[in-house]
Amino acid sequence: AQTVTQSQPEMSVQEAETVTLSCTYDTSENNYYLFWYKQPPSRQMILVIRQEAYKQQNATENRFSVNFQKAAKSFSLKISDSQLGDTAMYFCAFMKPGGTYKYIFGTGTRLKVLA
Amino acid sequence: EAQVTQNPRYLITVTGKKLTVTCSQNMNHEYMSWYRQDPGLGLRQIYYSMNVEVTDKGDVPEGYKVSRKEKRNFPLILESPSPNQTSLYFCASSFRGSGANVLTFGAGSRLTVL
């Protein structure tokens, strides 16, 4: 069974600095998708970025980028130029397409951006 | 606006009093699912539905029921709520297919069972 591990329950970063959130996963599948979701204090779950396992190029969305290491089963999120609005819980998620389309979520990393 | 709508957003109830949390999406998504979020445990899937009249258990289905009579609606039913069902609940939906199916989430429903 697939598992997703986020080993950093809490992190903090100074405004304008860069921070990296780690995520590792375990799967025997070759084709899958990985996601980072953000949950601000409003509780709304918002997609930050997604990565398709068959793509070697790391996904980037503005200040957010990932370091996808397929062999190491690692999927870290880098936030550049951190802003106060980045303060949120961040969840890493794995999804295997086909079948049940089940998503597996990590336990989350609470990020606080300090002014 | 494309969205998933959950109601109620907040609910306090007592043990054993049946309740339903509604979920509706306007994006014609085939796939819908329910999650509960608890501190330190992340999001865990309760039930999911691949299409109308097709539902199946997720990882933590005990104490819950669902139905999918219409494509847009996927209510979560707690027949006899207990305090261990106090949690934050999310409904989510997506298209099925070969692409990266991104889940669209509702705003969450905070349930407290006394």
Distance of alpha carbon A55 from alpha carbon A25, whole angstroms: 17
Q: Which of B43, B50, B101 sits opposite A97 (nearest CB)?
A: B101
Is the predicted pLDDT of residue B47 greater than 90, yes or no?
yes
- What does the mean pLDDT of chain B come to? 93
Degrees, nearest 5: CA angle B47-B52-B54: 45
Closest chain A CA to residue B110: A43
Tokens (6 digits) for A34: 């990985």
B1 and chain A: CB distance < 8 Å anywhere? no
Q: Which of B31, B43, B107 sits opposite A101 (nearest CB)?
A: B31
Q: Is A115 exposed, middle or buried (0-12, 13-18, 19+ CB in 10 A)?
A: exposed
Give pLDDT, residue A70: 95
Neighbours of B36 (CB within 10 A): 23
A41 and chain B: CB distance < 8 Å anywhere? no
pLDDT digits (tens, 9 = 90+) for B9-20: 999 999 999 999
Give pLDDT, residue A2: 82
Q: Tell if the CB–CB gap between B103 and A103 is shorter than 8 Å.
A: yes
Beta carbons within 8 Å of A85's beta carbon, 6+ residues apart: A40, A113
pLDDT digits (tens, 9 = 90+) for A68-115: 999 999 999 999 999 999 999 999 999 887 777 788 999 999 999 999
Q: How many residues does chain A have?
A: 115
Q: Which of A9, A33, A105 sits opposite B43 (nearest CB)?
A: A105
pLDDT band at residue B98 using 50, 70 and 90 as cut-offs: low
Q: Tell if the CB–CB gap between B103 and A106 is shorter than 8 Å.
A: no
Element (H, E) at A49: strand A46-52
Closest chain A CA to residue B42: A107
